[in-house]
Each structure stands twice: as C-alpha cells, then as structure tokens.
Structure 1
C-alpha cells in the first residue's frame, strides 16, 4: 500500500472550478475506523454550495467535498465488528468522497443493497435519507394523502416521489422540463405539472380545491410562498432546502388560516441527534432498497477529476436525477 492517494481539494472558496486533483498523505487508522477504496462518488447540490461557503455546514479549508460514495473495505481497525476487508460498502459523509479513498468510522457505512451497482450505491444515501426522513418521521405521511413534490426531477425529488408512492400517497410532481416530469411519472407520480408557470391553479384543481396534505420543498423562494397557499387544513409543508437561492418568509396569517405545520428537515442532523431513530431509518431505507426500490436515476457518469464541471451543472440547473463521479483505479 502506497503512502499517498489522490483527492479533489478545495483550498479556497469560490464557484465550481476551485477543485484540484492532488496527492494526499495516507493517515493511520484508529481502532474503530476503516479505510475504503472508493469506486464512485455522487455529486450533489450542497457540494456546490459548500464550495461557495453557502451551505449550513462550513468545513475548514482545505477540504475534500463529497457526501456519498461506494467502494470496498481495504483495511479495518481491531474494534470494527460489522464489516471486513473486501466488503462492498456505501459511505455517507459530510465531506471527503471526491477521493480515491476515505477513512471513516463504522457508523458511516452501509452495506450495498442487493442488485445495486457501485454507481447506484454511491448515489443512494443522500437522496434516500433526505426523502425518507422528510416524509416518514418528520412528515408522518399516511396512505390516501396527497403529496406535492417540488424539484421532482432531482435526485432527492425523484426519491420523494417514489417513497410517497410506496407509502400509498397520491403524488403530484412539479418539475421544470418535460424530461424531468417524465422521470417523475416513471417513479410513480400520479400527475406531473410544470413549475415554471403558476402551479397553484393546477394543484388546487387536481385536489378539488382542498389542497395537499404534504408538500416537499427543496426549492424555497416563490415556490415556498405559492406552496403555502396550496396546503390543505392541517397539512405539513416540509422545508428541505433553498435551491432557488432565495430564503422565503412565511406569512404567519396564512399558516394560521391554513392551520398547517411548517417542518424543517435535516436528515443528517436527525440521525446525529437521535442515533437510535437514525439507525432505524437506515434499516428501513435499506429494506426498501433490498426489495428492489429506491434505485437512483443516474443520468450521467463523469471522472472524479471532472468534478468542477459536474458541479457547474448544478449552477446551470441542468441536472436531472444524479451525476456519478467514477474514480480511477478502483478494483
């Protein structure tokens, strides 16, 4: 085993373009850690925000971006119990996956679901945990309810559509292009509408004027404001993020009149604050995946050395599904 590996390093904040492929010194394992040789990583919208210093978690410089990846265990500390050298694993991190290898504690790993490729495994945890946490423990979704999903062509949006469908909800998907709307229909949406024009009339017509029981909003801005007007009485508006770049303000009178909840969702923090609930959520996600569900829609694969170009596509808003970064030399 050589003493170095390579990673995409962010040494200064800025837009996509700041990452450089550099050699890093390998560090020794602690007793409860494992070394993973990554085969693939997935690019996500928050990776781009982190490069600009605009994400809620702000790592110290320099850092390696990358929330999620998949690969094989190549070394394990003596206190590791659930995984062994040679195992195929998913890595779920805050940073570090845009690299040839990563060192993690055992709790950061999941087994690769049955039938998943390495690329699919790498793109699984962020979308699955975000959508599942939002809709199940936080959104309390029930069969027969109506779910509105914004950003339905994105990785987290498509997974929310699928989970809503699996939980017995009627799903209305909002997305900006015909291709994204078709992808949402493929994942189980009952209706797909264009969010580039006013979507409220279409939503209210589709619900007979009642509104939706749950709204999943990773966009924010005007989408949030209009969605609040679409809520049914005692509905739950789930705040996932602000891809629009605009932080909305909730008019308290409308929340009162709708008698609805506005629920913030941070899937990673959910597990960190309540480890037992986090483990149960992970087990439920993996059970669905092992049953053949929640496979991410991968629309492009690029070398990890082209991570700058991959993240630029989030700036340009041309991403549907997931972009996976292949990592050279993986066994």
Structure 2
C-alpha cells in the first residue's frame, strides 16, 4: 500500500511517499484490538510537523508512517466492538494515518454522519474532542464569555463552532484580517487582533470586567495577558503551545484574583478517571449526528504533497484543518 514515511527526523521535507506492507496486528495503544480502516482522508496537526524533527514529547522512532488523524471506512473490527464493517468513521491515531490503510483505536474513534464528508471527518475527532473537553474542564455556564486564542486554527475554529452548543459568547484572538474572517465564519461573536492592543480590546468588549474563560492552544508570551483578561474567579484552560514556548505562571496572580488554570490531556485523565474518553467521544459524536457542528477544512492536499502540507503547518500558515486526501 502507499503511505507517507518519515525515515529521518530532519523536518517536513524528509517525508517520502513509499510502498509499504499493510498494517499487521493492532495499534500499539489498542491493547491488542485489531481495528483496520480503509483511509479516505488524513488530518494533519501541529504535532505531525513537530515530530518530523523529533520534537513531539510522545513521538515514535523512525521509520514511521505520518499522520495523526483519519477518516475512512471500517475494514476489520475487534470482537465486541460498537463498530461494524462498512461504518464511516473518523478518529485519532497519532501516527499512521497518511496511508491507504491504518490501524485505529475504538476508544478514539467516532461514527461519521452520512452528511459529513471524509474530508470534514478527518478534522472532527482531535479538534472537537479537544475543544469540547476544554469547555468541560472550564465548567462553562450558558451566558458566559469565552476568549479563544488561535481563533482561525483547528482547535480554535472548533471551539468557536461549539459556542452555541454550550450557550456562550466567544471572542476570538487572531493575527490577520484573513484569519479574522475565518474566525467569524466559524462562529466568533467578536474578534480582536493579537498584534494590537488585544487585552484592552477584550476589556472594552466586556465592560472592563474581563472574560469568564480563556481557551489557549497558543501559549507563549501572551499567556500573562490571558490571565489579565480574566475577571475575578475566571478560568484558563491550557490546550497547547503552538506559539513555540511554554509560559510560566506567577501564582500570586491566581491568588489575588481567584483564578484557576487547568490543563487537558484526555488519555492521562482516562487512567485516573475511567470513562473520560467515552464521555468526550459520545458528546462529539452526538453533536455531529445532530448537525450542530461543522469541521472547518482550511486546505486539502493530495498525498504526493504531504511535505508541502507539513511545511504549511510548521510555518503556522494553516487555518482550520489541513487534510491529505488519500
């Protein structure tokens, strides 16, 4: 079968389209459950580009097949599985998705409604599960205001799209006017520009009080101002660090203003609180089936152009989900 193989950790340009053997056994995280997918589209994320340089904390040794997310049709299922052969599905695999066949994990897979294309399905699980869980961990309440950093990116657009489901008002932070248009199309109620006085703009939009919640997949040097943008008792959810640096917190900021900072990693929570994965998966699947969410695909690439797609991600030029069509 054809697959995109990473043979050396020298960056996106090192990936190659190769003929490889079809997957055998089960996905390393699937506890021996063989779950085989005929892949129709593969979603890429920032971690895919990062790992081509060996920079992802949960990376795998070379050689490996690239691609963290998939959409396709079930070919083989384990026994006592809720999926059947022929089901249209999407999910996360961390690596192995940019190939004609991929091993998946039932706990990290959702059924796709017939109304959703495979291209959209390749952008469903990772971004929407992350965004939904961020809202859940923040304990948002209807009527609250949520600030979303990276509002034109994959997680950002998902968080904006989910706003109506949670009954919240959203303010998106973006870097360009093009990205502002994307954030508005994804559902942002207000948009501020990161290169400007965005903190003052946020305060003006909230009558000087600040937002209830910040969802931050960016990190970097704007983190302190994110804390400043919160009102008394506000909550900030750390999703990632696409800005490139990991910020630190002076805890006196939390003390004096009763702030909460939470991180999210669903698989680690599953270890301590079994049922976390099913909670998130079922919520996202229901929203998709009810037609309440629409994954935003920024650009699609043929499998031959996977290196270009990874370079777009590494250069932070991506908006929405980057998808490779198989």
Q: Same fold (TM over 0.5)?
A: yes
Query: What corresponds to 1:240 in structure 2?
Result: 239
Q: CA deviation at 1:273?
A: 4.6
- Give the TM-score, by structure 2 length: 0.93
Contact 2:107–2:277 at 8 Å: present in 1 too? no
* C-alpha separation in 2, matches of 1:207 and 1:39: 44
Distance 1:91 1:162, change over 3 A: closer
- Are 2:21 and 1:20 aligned? no
| CA distances 1:150-171 after superposition (whole Å, capped 9, x unpaired) | 0000110011112233211111
Gaps of 5+ in 2: 27-31
Q: Tell me if the contact between 1:33 and 1:80 (Cα under 8 Å) persists in the aligned partners.
A: no
The offset of 1:134, in angstroms, is 0.7
Matches of 1:24 and 1:107 in 2, distance apart?
A: 26
Q: Which residue of 1 aligns with 2:196?
A: 197
CA positional deviation for 1:27: 4.3
Gaps of at least 5 residues in structure 1 are none
Equivalence map 1:98-113=2 (5 Å): 98-113=98-113
Question: How much does 1:295 deviate?
Answer: 1.4
CA distance in 1, matches of 2:251, 2:186: 34
**Aligned position for 2:3:** 7
Q: Mean alpha-carbon deviation: is it higher for 272-281 or for 140-149?
A: 272-281
RMSD: 1.7
Equivalent-residue separation in structure 2 for 1:91 and 1:299 (angstroms): 18
Cα distance change of structure 1 residues 307 and 35 upon mapping to structure 2, 3 Å threshold:
same
What secondary structure does 2:35 align onto? strand
Q: Is the 1:165–1:189 Cα contact (8 Å) retained in structure 2?
A: no
CA displacement at 1:82 relative to structure 2 = 2.2
In structure 2, C-alpha distance between the alignment counterparts of 1:270 and 1:164, rounded to whole Å: 24
Instruction: From the superposition, tell whether residues 46 and 273 of structure 1 become closer, same or farther in structure 2 (CA, over 3 Å).
Output: farther
Partner SS, residue 232 of structure 1 = strand
Q: Please tell me whether the aligned partners of residues 134 and 267 of structure 1 are also in contact (alpha carbons under 8 angstroms).
A: no
2:92–2:104 CA contact under 8 A, matched in 1: no
- Contact 2:109 / 2:281 at 8 angstroms: preserved in 1? no
What's 1:126 paired with? 126
Q: Structure 1 length as normaliser, TM-score?
A: 0.92
Cα-to-partner distance string for 1:96-149 (whole Å, 9 max, x where unaligned): 11111112343343211241001111111111011001111x111111111000
For the Cα contact (< 8 Å) 1:193–1:202, is it kept in 2?
yes
Equivalent residue of 1:253, what SS? helix
Alpha carbons of 1:288 and 1:37: their partners in 2 closer, same or farther (altered >3 Å)?
same
**1:310–1:272 Cα change, 3 Å:** farther
Instruction: Tell me how far apart the structure 1 counterparts of residues 107 and 258 of structure 2 sit (CA, whole Å).
Output: 39
Q: How does 1:50-199 map to 2 (within 5 A)?
A: 50-77=51-78, 79-136=79-136, 138-199=137-198
Deviation per CA, 1:162-217: give whole Å up to 9, x if none.
22332111111111122221222222222111111231100111111111110011
In 2, Cα distance between the equivalents of 1:215 and 1:284?
Answer: 21
> Matched residues in 2 for 1:282 and 1:8: separation?
28
1:211-250 pair list within 5 angstroms: 211-250=210-249
1:69 is displaced (CA, Å) by 0.6
**Aligned-pair distance for 1:76?**
3.6
